[in-house]
Amino acid sequence: MGGSFAAALTKRGLARVIGVTRRRSTADSALEMGILEEAGPDLDEIGAADIVVLATPVRTLLRQIPEVASRVRRGAILTDVGSTKSGILEALRAAKSPATVVAGHPMAGNERAGLDGCDDKVFENRPWVLIGDRLKATRLEQLVAGVGARPFWMKSPQDHDLKVARVSHIPYLLAYALMGTPLDAIRVCGNSFRDATRVAASDPDMVMDFLLTNQGPIRRSAKELQARLEKLLRLIDRGDAAGLRKSLVRARDLRGKL
Amino acid sequence: MGGSFAAALTKRGLARVIGVTRRRSTADSALEMGILEEAGPDLDEIGAADIVVLATPVRTLLRQIPEVASRVRRGAILTDVGSTKSGILEALRAAKSPATVVAGHPMAGNERAGLDGCDDKVFENRPWVLIGDRLKATRLEQLVAGVGARPFWMKSPQDHDLKVARVSHIPYLLAYALMGTPLDAIRVCGNSFRDATRVAASDPDMVMDFLLTNQGPIRRSAKELQARLEKLLRLIDRGDAAGLRKSLVRARDLRGKL
């Protein structure tokens, strides 16, 4: 995600992007790809930046925040692109950074992790969630809009984490549960199964990063989904054609608008 | 499905297709589309056919079988393209047709019902399930292969109905359950949600036809899926990274082969 953002900003000439990476080889690859201007492993570089974008996986980031947050200068914006927000915002606030903290989550991406998944068009027309003081985040909002995303302000990290559990983490879990279907049945599967399991092809470490940092909202969303599934199953068991049709028509009409 | 099969056979010159429809307007449309040679509402036409393909929705077919099955001549093949098989095979056997009964289910299709969804390429490389005496079904098997499908013989209608519940009816139900997600969350949905809910855009009557004629296998498959989902949720709750990773890697590897 960090690579894609760097590529999108550089390609459009929206910012001078400096990459700070854990491994020098990642910095070298990024430079070779031409997706940023300077890159290296020196963490002190971030002291000069107007906007610092933390782009490591959530669980790594939670460990790095204390070390990183203090180095960002007063007046700069400190943001991130992590896929869950409660833990990160808690850590950012605890770190008492002199910068303006605005948490972020571009609702975009693909199945590939790291620079391998780098795609400067991935943000186009996708929501980019932001949480923090909007009045102090104008420059960040301009960059987000500049790469084609739609800035989407949310009130709290809890609000964000419940929403993404409902529309993203649950579809992932259903895909994994479906992939446990007996193999003799999978042999005759059609498009409904293929579509529903597409995200199971994702990088496991990328997926674990959001599943293992969003337990509460995932459990709650799963309960809600199971209740709705049970309601449908009862309509089928009872042979309630009118009731079932009503649910199916509502779903079709709503899906048609997505 | 009947229209697509007629179109595929006619286009490839594999058979002289005669359509018998409930409504004259459907026959007229099919003739105009050039997907068959003759068409009309006279049920007695089927007495001359070598192969009779019943292509009404399952619940309609269950009502029509007694009237239709007796009209097919001895030595002919009587088949269908219904999406569930136990009820249909029971009705076909009870009707004591003089013909050779071979139940069928092309695992292909799209969201549109009737002639509106007619597509002569829809069978290409898709499994076409057949249940019955293979030795007496050579001509039917040739037509099925002729339109590009892969004849896939199954032992029993129960075997078929459980497999399609697992790989098709459950993904449909999950899509409908997902469409019940609160709207403020759906507003920020990404591709995982879009993919998992694609089939919710299907024609509700087409879907009701298989959901309401496959209650037992659907209930059983739903229980299996819920147990697999619960297992994943417990790994997440416990923060069991190693156990979760194992499930995710297995799913990714298997999905990659689909």
pLDDT digits (tens, 9 = 90+) for B55-65: 999 999 999 99
Between the CA atoms of A257, B2, B6 and B8, what dihedral angle is there, to the nearest 10 degrees? 50
Based on the domain organization, do A9 and A121 belong to the same domain?
A: yes
pLDDT of residue A114: 74
Question: Total structural domains in chain B?
Answer: 2
As a three-state string, the secondary structure of A176-205 is HHHCCCCHHHHCCCCHHHHHHHHHHHCCHH
Using one digit for the tens of pLDDT, what is the confidence trace for A24-38?
999 999 999 999 999
Based on the domain organization, do A177 and A243 belong to the same domain?
A: yes
Of the three residues A129, A155, A181, the one that is the final residue of a domain is A155
* Confidence category of residue A117, pLDDT binned at 50, 70, 90: confident
Of the three residues B154, B179, B196, the one that is the final residue of a domain is B154
pLDDT of residue A115: 81
Query: Domain of B18?
Result: 2-154
Asked if A211 and B249 come within 8 Å (Cβ–Cβ), the reply is no
CA distance B119 to B139: 22
Count H helices and E strands in chain B, helices first: 12, 7
Q: Map residue B183 onto helix, strand or coil.
A: helix
A17 touches chain B (CB under 8 A): no
CA distance A11 to A5: 10
Do B14 and B143 contact (CB within 8 A), yes or no?
yes
- B182 vs A contacts (CB less than 8 Å): 166
Do B15 and B37 contact (CB within 8 A), yes or no?
no
Task: Give me the residues of B, 109-138, that contact A with CB < 8 A.
Answer: 109, 126-127, 129
Based on the domain organization, do A151 and A204 belong to the same domain?
A: no
**Mean pLDDT for chain A overall:** 95
User: For strand B100-106 and strand A127-131, is the pairing parallel, antiparallel, or unpaired?
Assistant: unpaired
- Which CATH number goes with the domain that contains B167? 1.10.3660.10
Out of A194, A218, A247, whose CB is closest to B236? A218
Using one digit for the tens of pLDDT, what is the confidence trace for A8-18?
999 999 999 99
* Confidence category of residue A52, pLDDT binned at 50, 70, 90: very high
pLDDT of residue A135: 96
Which of A81, A152, A174, A213 to mutate: most B Cβ within 10 Å?
Answer: A174
pLDDT of residue A113: 66
- B207 vs A contacts (CB less than 8 Å): 248
Asked if A171 and B178 come within 8 Å (Cβ–Cβ), the reply is yes
Based on the domain organization, do B60 and B123 belong to the same domain?
A: yes
pLDDT of residue A111 exceeding 90, the answer is: no
- A211 vs B contacts (CB less than 8 Å): 236, 244
Asked if B258 and A202 come within 8 Å (Cβ–Cβ), the reply is no
Nearest-CA distance B142 → chain A (Å): 20
* Confidence category of residue A194, pLDDT binned at 50, 70, 90: very high
Do A76 and A54 contact (CB within 8 A), yes or no?
no
Q: How many CB pairs under 8 A join A and B?
A: 241
User: In which element (H, E) is residue A67 found?
Assistant: helix A58-69
Based on the domain organization, do A144 and A40 belong to the same domain?
A: yes
pLDDT of residue A78 exceeding 90, the answer is: yes
Based on the domain organization, do A149 and A166 belong to the same domain?
A: no
Out of B127, B200, B225, whose CB is closest to A255? B200
Based on the domain organization, do A139 and A175 belong to the same domain?
A: no
- Which CATH number goes with the domain that contains B101? 3.40.50.720
Asked if A239 and B212 come within 8 Å (Cβ–Cβ), the reply is yes
User: Which of the residues in chain B have pLDDT under 70?
Assistant: 110-113
Strands (E) across A6-91 are located at 18-20, 38-40, 51-54, 77-80
**Mean pLDDT for chain B overall:** 95
Q: Which residue of A has its CA nearest to B112?
A: A252
User: In which element (H, E) is residue A141 found?
Assistant: helix A138-146
Based on the domain organization, do A219 and A139 belong to the same domain?
A: no
Out of A171, A188, A244, whose CB is closest to B196? A171
Of the three residues A108, A136, A155, the one that is the final residue of a domain is A155
Phi, psi of A77, rounded to the nearest 5 degrees = -105, 130
A185 touches chain B (CB under 8 A): yes
* Confidence category of residue A83, pLDDT binned at 50, 70, 90: very high
Based on the domain organization, do A14 and A104 belong to the same domain?
A: yes
Nearest-CA distance A35 → chain B (Å): 25
Q: Which two tokens stand for residue A228?
A: 């709705």
CA distance A200 to B95: 45
Buried b (16+ CB within 10 A) or exposed e, B215-242: bebbeebbebbbebbeebbebbeeeeee
* Confidence category of residue A112, pLDDT binned at 50, 70, 90: low
Based on the domain organization, do A10 and A134 belong to the same domain?
A: yes
Q: Which ranges constitute the DSSP H helices of B70-214?
A: 86-94, 138-146, 157-164, 170-178, 183-186, 191-197, 204-211
Out of B166, B229, B237, whose CB is closest to A185? B166
Out of A173, A178, A222, whose CB is closest to B171? A178
Q: Please tell me which residue, A258 or A176, carries the higher pLDDT value.
A: A176
- In one-letter notation, the amino acid at residue B170 is I
Give the C-alpha distances (Å, rounded to integers) separating A115 from A11, A29, A68, B256: 16, 8, 22, 21
Q: Which two tokens stand for residue B154?
A: 């199954």
Based on the domain organization, do B36 and B128 belong to the same domain?
A: yes
Do B253 and A181 contact (CB within 8 A), yes or no?
no
Closest CA to B54 of B30, B77, B80: B80
pLDDT of residue B113: 66
A176 touches chain B (CB under 8 A): yes
pLDDT of residue B213: 97
Nearest-CA distance B118 → chain A (Å): 17
Interface predicted TM-score (ipTM) of this complex, two decimals: 0.91
Asked if A199 and B195 come within 8 Å (Cβ–Cβ), the reply is yes
pLDDT of residue A183: 97
Based on the domain organization, do A55 and A131 belong to the same domain?
A: yes
Angle at B108 between CA B107 and CA B110, to 5 degrees: 140
